[in-house]
């Protein structure tokens, strides 16, 4: 069996077979909880478990899992070290980090996302009723697992399929609005540093992420970008070259205030089960900026952003989406393509240049 056999097996997964999950956690209690939760999920089977990273790496070629759940704090080889090895040996194998959302756990989980983890799930707190804990972790894990392994029946959309639709290339861009979910932190960490210091428009970002992770993502993006990346603050005036990230659990919108355009935050009801929601941001920029809005829909599960992208295009703005081959989950971007509300499909490395071509064409 080749080093990449598990990743290859994942890529050729058929919908007729149950999804095989390898649970990696040093806690006997946690392994039992995850096994019970996943065993109760239709279409998912537990292929095996491992008490640390070294055992997990030895079991991958034996068990041929489709997905791995991975704890952070483990003896011998911890979750971060194990993730690095998995990414080197099995680049196509989805890994879901599963750890406590406190202190070191949240910081290390964020680091794992930056190193290529496919998703993150918080372990239930010790105070939670065991039966409720199983239901909660089952629902969240099963949703993420099925989204990560779902393979579309249609042929992948080529990034060049929409090149002929870029008639809005010369439209004046006044704001860049971006939306992402699963895989988004890595995608943003790739794109934002590529934007120049003299970017003549503000950037607004909705990333589906727990509230405690938002400052960590802001710090990460700010440390590697020439632009100022900040967590959005209600009432702040938008200026060129600023990057604003929606806080966790707050919708981000924009509004006119005299001659200025300002940020607005709210705890209005979730949209698409999300707060912040990409649709909320996109609807807002479409209303305020009209044809000056440029939306970018990136990797992520679900359909958040599809209706907002439609609103941007109805207002005369443009929409760029990430292609399937470079997305961790082609749900949001794929939904926009299926809805026919896209001007251009780009691979991840092509998104930055595509943005800049449109931005620098402003006023032509």
Please state, in angstroms and rounded to a whole number, the distance separating the CA atoms of residues 53 and 128: 27
**CATH H-level superfamily of 163-360:** Methylesterase CheB, C-terminal domain (3.40.50.180)
pLDDT of residue 224: 92
Token pair recorded at residue 298: 């990136």
pLDDT at 121: 85
In which residue are the tokens 């496919």 written?
A: 118
Higher-pLDDT residue of 263 and 92 is: 263
Same fold, 5-149 and 163-360: yes
Partners of 24 in the beta sheet? 50, 70
pLDDT above 70 coverage of the chain, percent:
85
Q: Annotated catalytic residue: which of 41, 49, 99, 181?
A: 181
DSSP 3-state assignment of 273? coil
Distance CA 96, CA 98 (A): 6
Per DSSP, which regions of the chain are E strands?
Answer: 19-24, 44-50, 67-70, 95-99, 119-122, 175-180, 203-207, 228-231, 242-245, 251-257, 260-266, 293-297, 318-322, 344-346
| Active-site annotation holder among 208, 323, 327, 343 | 208
pLDDT at residue 278, rounded to an integer: 98
Per-residue model confidence (pLDDT) at position 128:
62
Which residue ranges make up each domain of the chain? Answer: 5-149, 163-360
5-149 adopts what CATH topology? Rossmann fold (3.40.50)
Among residues 26, 279, 304, 323, which one is catalytic?
304
Residue 36 has pLDDT above 60, yes or no: yes
* Rounded Cα gap, residues 142 and 38, in angstroms: 7
Residue 199 binned pLDDT confidence (cut-offs 50, 70, 90)? very high
* Mean confidence (pLDDT) of the chain: 85
Contact 70, 96 (CB under 8 A): yes
**Token reading at 283:** 């609807």
pLDDT tens digit string along 305-362? 999 999 999 999 999 999 988 888 889 999 999 999 999 999 999 999 889 988 887 5
Global pTM value: 0.71
Would you call the peptide bond into 9 cis, given omega within 30 degrees of 0 as the criterion? Answer: no
Asked if 167 is an active-site residue, the reply is: no
Residue 23, token pair as written in the block: 């649970």
> Which has more pLDDT, 168 or 209?
209
Say whether 110 is catalytic: no
Whether 208 is catalytic: yes
Which residues make beta-bridge pairs with 4? Answer: none
Q: What is the pLDDT of residue 100?
A: 73
């Amino acid at each position: 069996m080749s080093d990449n056999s598990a990743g290859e097996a994942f890529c050729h997964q058929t919908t007729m077979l149950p999804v095989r999950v390898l649970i990696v956690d040093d806690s006997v209690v946690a392994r039992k909880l995850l096994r019970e939760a996943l065993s109760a999920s239709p279409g998912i089977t537990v292929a095996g478990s491992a008490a640390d990273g070294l055992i997990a790496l030895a079991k991958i070629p034996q068990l041929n899992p489709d997905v791995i759940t991975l704890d952070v704090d483990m003896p011998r080889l911890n979750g971060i070290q194990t993730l690095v090895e998995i990414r080197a040996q099995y680049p196509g194998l989805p890994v879901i980090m599963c750890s406590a959302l406190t202190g070191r756990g949240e910081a290390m989980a964020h680091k794992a996302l930056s190193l290529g983890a496919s998703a993150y799930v918080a372990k239930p707190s010790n105070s939670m009723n065991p039966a409720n804990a199983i239901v909660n972790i089952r629902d969240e894990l099963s949703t993420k697992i099925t989204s990560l392994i779902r393979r579309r029946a249609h042929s992948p959309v080529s990034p060049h399929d929409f090149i002929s639709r870029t008639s809005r290339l010369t439209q004046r861009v006044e704001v860049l609005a971006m939306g992402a979910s699963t895989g988004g932190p890595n995608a943003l960490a790739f794109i934002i540093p590529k934007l120049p210091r003299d970017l003549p428009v503000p950037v607004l970002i909705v990333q589906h992420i727990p509230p405690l992770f938002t400052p960590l993502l802001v710090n990460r993006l700010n440390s590697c970008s020439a632009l100022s990346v900040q967590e959005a603050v209600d009432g702040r005036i938008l200026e060129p070259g600023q990057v604003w990230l929606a806080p966790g659990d707050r919708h981000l919108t924009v509004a006119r205030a005299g001659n200025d355009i300002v940020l607005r935050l709210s705890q209005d009801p979730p949209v698409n089960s999300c707060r912040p929601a990409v649709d909320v941001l996109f609807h807002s920029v479409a209303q305020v900026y009209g044809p000056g809005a440029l939306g970018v829909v990136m990797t992520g599960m679900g359909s958040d952003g599809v209706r907002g992208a439609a609103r941007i295009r109805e207002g005369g703005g443009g929409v760029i989406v990430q292609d399937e081959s470079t997305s961790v989950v082609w749900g949001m971007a794929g939904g926009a393509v299926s809805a026919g509300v896209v001007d251009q499909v780009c691979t991840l490395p092509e998104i930055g240049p595509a943005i800049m071509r449109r931005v620098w064409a402003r006023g032509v």
